Amino acid sequence: MPKNLRRSLRAAVVGGGIGGLAVANALMRKGLDVVVYEQAPALAEVGAGVMIYPNSLRHLERMGFRERLASVGARIGPLSAFHRSDGSPVGSFQTTDSTGWNGMYGMHRADILNTLAADLPSGAVLTGHRCVDFRQNSEAATVVFDNGHTAEADLVVAADGINSALRRFVSEPKPPVYSGMRAYRGLVEKALFDAWPDDAMLVWMGDGKHFMVYPVRGGTILNYVGFVPTGGETVESWSAPGDRGQLASSFQGWDKRITTLLSKVESCFWWGLYDREPLDSWTNGRLTLLGDAAHPMLPHLGQGANQAIEDGIALACFLEGTSATDVPAALQAYANLRAPRTAMVQVEARKNGQRYDSRYANLAQRDDEIKSSAAFRKSLFDYDVEKETMWSRQSSAMVGTVSSNV
């Protein structure tokens, strides 16, 4: 190859969830050759909802997904609100950034996964590949899979979730931190109810537990999640079958809207709520972590998938125009930018869970904090990771120029 022609960087993304497919799209749009390796036999998400907020939606729209997401999502509007367990109102739920832009969708996880996968070229996603080993040298990185396949790349992105197989090659794993809560979740047809808003996220807060409902698939389906305390640690599984009777009894005597909804539930799933303390490092040479592999967080801000999407945008921006030799430095710059942001969101998610679950002697204080949380949510939604990344790159270049002239 002539020296003046630079080949495209090769990226291996391990994990075909929302974070993995989002970063694959972002990297592809920056000119990288990308292959996603997913351990499951097919790309799939069990039936569950996910909130997409302005801080990630603006980037998905910039990548060209505006119309497709609008067609499969349910726009969340100004009727969104917080309530006490008996249904009495507490305050509105912030649905816009500080400019007033409403970039908030309730989405079925399978719908956003399919949307992201559809834009990748044929052959860019390989299923049935479970990562079992990793090695690297100064020239390239290699991922080894249980089916005997190996993949060589200029960089490897570990987007393989809270139980990441690659995290051990980057940092000493942090033990899971159990929140003391279990979450039941499921879907019900909105047509089963006479009057339920198709564009509102509703949250009820009670004695040590809370419940939320929001629409997905254009408002035709309601996604519900009930958070209840447990006596001991439980598994982290997203797909453990739940006991619908136990779920219903946990919210007996609450707002009639909840008890009516739960009377229509035929089956549900549950998962134990864990996060982890921030890692000491996100990168090791040509390997970096993304999403839950780097920063698993509690769901009480709905930011897990959104932060993973932010990660992918930042990583792609840092790698744009980078040579294979400079990949490790680009990955470290990505980690330096993202780690403080995600650590802050992890902490705030924990605090928000305490508010929702009413661990206050004075509920009026809790209600006031909920009302005042709009300012924080605006700042969270205003964050533009693409602009922050470009500013970081420019600042580093200026520092380098000054240093070279000294």
Q: Is the pLDDT of residue 285 over 90?
A: yes
Residue 122 burial by CB count (10 A; 0-12/13-18/19+): exposed, middle or buried? exposed
pLDDT tens track for 194-237: 888 889 999 999 989 999 999 999 999 999 999 999 876 666 55
Lowest average pLDDT, out of 11-20, 240-249, 322-331, 334-343, goes to 240-249
SS3 144: strand
Distance (Å) of CA 179 to CA 44, 210, 236? 27, 14, 11
Q: Is the pLDDT of residue 32 over 50?
A: yes
pLDDT tens track for 296-318: 999 999 999 999 999 999 999 99
Give 37's strand partners. Answer: 14, 126
Q: What is the DSSP track for 68-110?
A: HHHHHSEE--TT-EEEETTS-EEEEPP-S-TT-----EEEEHH
Domains and CATH numbers, the chain: 10-175+276-396 (3.50.50.60)
Residue range 157-169: mean pLDDT, rounded: 95
What is the C-alpha separation between 119 and 130, in angstroms, rounded? Answer: 23
Contact status, residue 312 vs residue 360, Cβ threshold 8 Å = no
What is the C-alpha separation between 210 and 202, in angstroms, rounded? Answer: 11
Q: What is the DSSP track for 355-386?
A: HHTT--S-HHHHHHHHHHHHHHHHHHHH--HH
The pLDDT assigned to 238 comes to: 54
What is the C-alpha separation between 268 and 283, in angstroms, rounded? Answer: 37
**Cα angle: 130, vertex 134, 139; to 5 degrees:** 130
What is the C-alpha separation between 55 and 78, in angstroms, rounded? Answer: 18
**Dihedral sign from CA coordinates of 123, 125, 127, 133:** positive
Q: Is the pLDDT of residue 177 over 90?
A: no
Residue range 273-300: mean pLDDT, rounded: 94
What is the C-alpha separation between 334 and 313, in angstroms, rounded? Answer: 10
The catalytic residue among 37, 53, 184, 214 is 214
Total length of the chain: 406
Distance (Å) of CA 101 to CA 43, 61, 301? 32, 13, 19
The pLDDT assigned to 402 comes to: 42
Which residues contact residue 395 at a Cβ distance below 8 angstroms, ignoring those fewer than 6 apart? none
Report the C-alpha dihedral over residues 113, 119, 125, 130, rounded to 10 degrees.
-30
The pLDDT assigned to 2 comes to: 46
SS3 307: helix
* Helices within 254-298 (DSSP H only): 256-263
pLDDT tens track for 111-162: 999 999 999 999 999 999 999 999 999 999 999 999 999 999 999 999 999 8
Q: Going edge to edge, which strands form the sheet with 74-75?
A: 49-52, 105-108, 74-75
Helix (H) or strand (E) holding 153: strand 150-153
CA-nearest of 57, 55, 98 to 75 is 57
Q: Is the pLDDT of residue 403 over 50?
A: no
pTM: 0.94
What is the C-alpha separation between 54 and 63, in angstroms, rounded? Answer: 14
Distance (Å) of CA 13 to CA 124, 132, 183, 206, 328? 10, 14, 29, 41, 16
Q: Is the pLDDT of residue 289 over 90?
A: yes
pLDDT confidence of 6, banded at 50, 70, 90? low
pLDDT confidence of 396, banded at 50, 70, 90? confident
What would the two tokens of residue 203 be? 């949250």
pLDDT tens track for 343-376: 999 999 999 998 898 778 888 899 999 999 999 9
Question: Catalytic annotation on 214?
Answer: yes
What is the C-alpha separation between 265 and 268, in angstroms, rounded? Answer: 7
